[in-house]
Amino acid sequence: MVWMARGDALELLHLGPRLHDAEDLAVLAAAAARGRHENQPDVPPTGGLLPDPRSGWRGPLLAEFSRDGLPVTPRWTGLHIETSPDLGTIAANWSDGDLETHLRISWTMGAGDVIVTHTQFTDTGFRAIGERGVVTTRCASLLLPLPRGFDKVTHFAGRWADDMRAERLPVSRASLGWASRGGKPGFAGGDWLVFDDEETGAQLGFHIAATGDHEVRIERNDDGNASLVAETPIPAPGFGGLHTPEALIGWAPDAATLTRAFHAHARERLASYAHNAPRERRVHFNTWEACAFDFDEARLMRLAEDAAALGAERFALDDGWFKGRSSDRAGLGDWVPDPVRFPNGLGPLIAYVKALGMDFGLWVEPEMVSPDSDLYRAHPDWCLHEPGLPRPTERNQLVLDFTRPEVGDHIHACIAKLLRENDIAYLKWDHNRRLFPQPPLGAHPGRLRMMWDQLRADFPHTMIESCSSGGGRIDMGLLGPIERFWPSDNNDTIERIRIMREWSRLLPLEVLGSHVGPSPNPITGRRLAMDFRAKVAVFGHMGVEADPARMTDKERECLAAHIALYKQWRGVLHAGDLHHLAHPDPNIMGMMVTHGDKALALVAQTAFSPVFDAAPVRLAGLEPEALYRVTLPAPWPPRARHYLANPDAWREGLILSGAALMGHGLALPLTHPETAWLIALEKIA
C-alpha cells in the first residue's frame, strides 16, 4: 500500500503487489494523475483517506462532527506522518486548532501482510466542568478508495442455521450496504467482504473486527471512483475521544493466497495473546444433540463412557446443567449446578469423565437471564428494559445490562467461582438473544471483553468458544481470549460443507468447530451415512454431537476410525496451508491442506452426478517436480468403493508427481450423492 501526501491531503496511490525497490514513486504518481474534466470544480477534489467536503467532494466522509448541537466541519491541517518500523506501523496525524481536536489514523502490517487500521479522534481542549466540546457523530474504522478493477464483491449473508451464504455482486453506481443492529455481528454479511478483479484474478479481503453492531457500505460516483466505508455506532455521549474497532485489509494475487494471509493473521493473534499456550485441538463430545435437556447424572456418565469408547478427548455438557433448567424457559442467570440433577455438584461427573481419559467442558450463556430465575426475582432491574413498558423476550429470555458495574461484577464472580471449584477445560459461551431494548452503544462488548481477559488471566487452561446461535458472533477481534468459534448450529453435513468452505476462506480450520451430528438431522431432517458425516467433520476442530447408543455397531466403528484419522492428521490440518479445490461439477467440493512433506484432501459429492464418471479431482499446493505417494485412508465410502479401480494399488500407494496431481488429477468414484473421500499424500522425493 502506498499513500501520497499532497499538502494536508493523503491519497491512495497503490494497493496491490509489492513494487520494485527502485520504483520512483513520483513517477508512479505522475502516471496515475488525471486531468480535470468539464463537470468538476476548477481544482478537482480528491477523495483519498480524509476527503474534504469543502473541495467539492461529494463522496463518503471518514467522520462527521458537531459542536453545540450543530454540524461542524474540521479543517484538518499539519499532516504529520509517524513510522514505527519495529511494529510495522505508519500513522497519519492531523489537528484542528480552532476546534481543539486531533485525528490519528494508523496502519500496521501484520502476519500474512494483512493491514490492520483504525481511527482515533481526541478532544485536546481544556474545558470547564460541564462545557461541551466537539462531538463525534460518526467515525469510520476505514474509508478505503477501492482500486480500479475490483468490480465484484462477495459478501456472506445468512440466517440462523444457514450461515455464511456467499453472494457475489457487481460494484456499480447503486450503493451497496449491510448492517447489523442486534448488538452483535449477526448474519447480515457485511463484516467480511472479498473483492475480486476478474481481469487479473487479484483479490482484496476486508473485515471489520467489531463484536457489536456495524455498518458497511460501498459507494461509486459518476467518475467511477468507489469507496468502502466501515464503521460502528458512536458510543454516547461522544465527548473527549473515540477509538474505533480495527478494520483489516488484505490484498492477494489470487484466492488461495488471500486465504493463507488471513489464516496467518488469525494464527498470529492466537499465538500473541498473553494467556494462550499451544493447544492440541482435542476431539469434542457435546451432549446437546445426544440428549438436550433429557438427562440425569447417571445418563451423562453412560454418555461419557460411550464417548470415550469412540476416542473423544473432551466431554462437553451443554445446556440444562444449572439450577431450574429443565427447559429453555427458566434458569439463565443461576449459574450453580441443579441440585436435583447434581445433588453433589458437578464434581462426581467431572471426576468420572477424567477417569475415562477425557477433560470436561461446560455450556454457559452468562449475558442472558430468564424471567423464571432467582437472579431475576432478586434483581428485576438488572435486565435491559424501559421503565413502565413491557419487557419483550426472545427465546424466553432477557439480556442483562452490562452497563451497570454490579451486573458485570456479579456474572464474572459466578463464572469465576464455577471455574475455581471445578476442573473445567472448556467453556462454550453462547449468546443467542439480540440486545433489545438497546443498551448504551459499545458498553456491552467492552465489558464482555474485559471479563474474558480477566477469566483467561485467572484460568489460562480454560478454552473459551464463542457461539451465538451458530456463527452470529465471529470476528478477528475476539481471537485471543476466544480460541474456537461455532460456525453454525446446523450440523447437516451437506449444509456444513458449504458453511465450512466459506468460513475457512477467512479463518483457519483449527478455530472452526466441526461436529458429527445425528441422523436424521434435527434441523433439516436429512438422513446421511456415518462415513459421509465423519469425513467432512475431520476438516475442522472435530467433535461429535450424537448419541452413540442410537448408532449401529458399524456406525460406531466407522466414527471411531475417523476420530483416529483426525488425531493422526490434526497436526497437518491445523498448521498447514489450506487450498479450496475447483471442480467442474458444482456439487463436488474439495479442501486440501499442505504442511511440510504431507497433505490431506477432502473431496465430497453432495448431489447425484449428471455423468457416471466424474472429472478427475485436481489437487493444489504441491511442488510440481516432487514425487508423492498417494493413498486413500480407510474406511472407504461403502457404495463408492465398489467403483474404485485397482483398490490394492490405492492401499499400497500410487507414486505421482506434483505436476500430474495438479494438472491431471485423480479419477475417483463421485457419482452418488453424499459420497466423500479422503486423500493422503506424502512427499518421497
Q: Averaged in consecutive runs of 10 residues, what is the pLDDT profile of the chain (685 residues)? A: 90 92 93 88 84 86 88 93 92 92 94 94 65 79 95 96 96 93 90 97 97 94 92 70 92 97 97 92 98 97 98 98 97 98 97 98 98 98 94 96 94 98 98 86 81 97 97 96 98 97 98 98 97 98 98 98 98 98 96 98 95 95 98 96 94 97 97 96 97
pLDDT of 58: 81
Burial class (CB in 10 A: 0-12, 13-18, 19+), 350: buried
Give CATH 2.60.40.1180 domain extents, the chain.
Answer: 579-683
List residues with catalytic annotation: 430, 489
Q: How far is CA 439 from CA 181, 534, 545, in A?
A: 12, 42, 35
Give CATH 2.70.98.60 domain extents, the chain.
Answer: 2-272
User: What CATH number was assigned to the domain covering residues 579-683?
Assistant: 2.60.40.1180
In degrees and rounded to multiples of 5, residue 250 shows phi and psi of: -140, 125
**What is the CATH class of 2-272?**
mainly beta
Q: How far is CA 380 from CA 130, 369, 391, 399, 451, in A?
A: 33, 10, 11, 11, 22
Q: Are the beta carbons of 461 and 495 closer than 8 angstroms?
A: no
Q: Does domain 315-472 have CATH number 3.10.450.50?
A: no
pLDDT of 59: 85
pLDDT of 240: 60
Cα-to-chain-centroid distance, residue 561: 29
Give CATH 3.20.20.70 domain extents, the chain.
Answer: 315-472
| H/E element, 127 | none
pLDDT of 189: 83
pLDDT of 438: 76
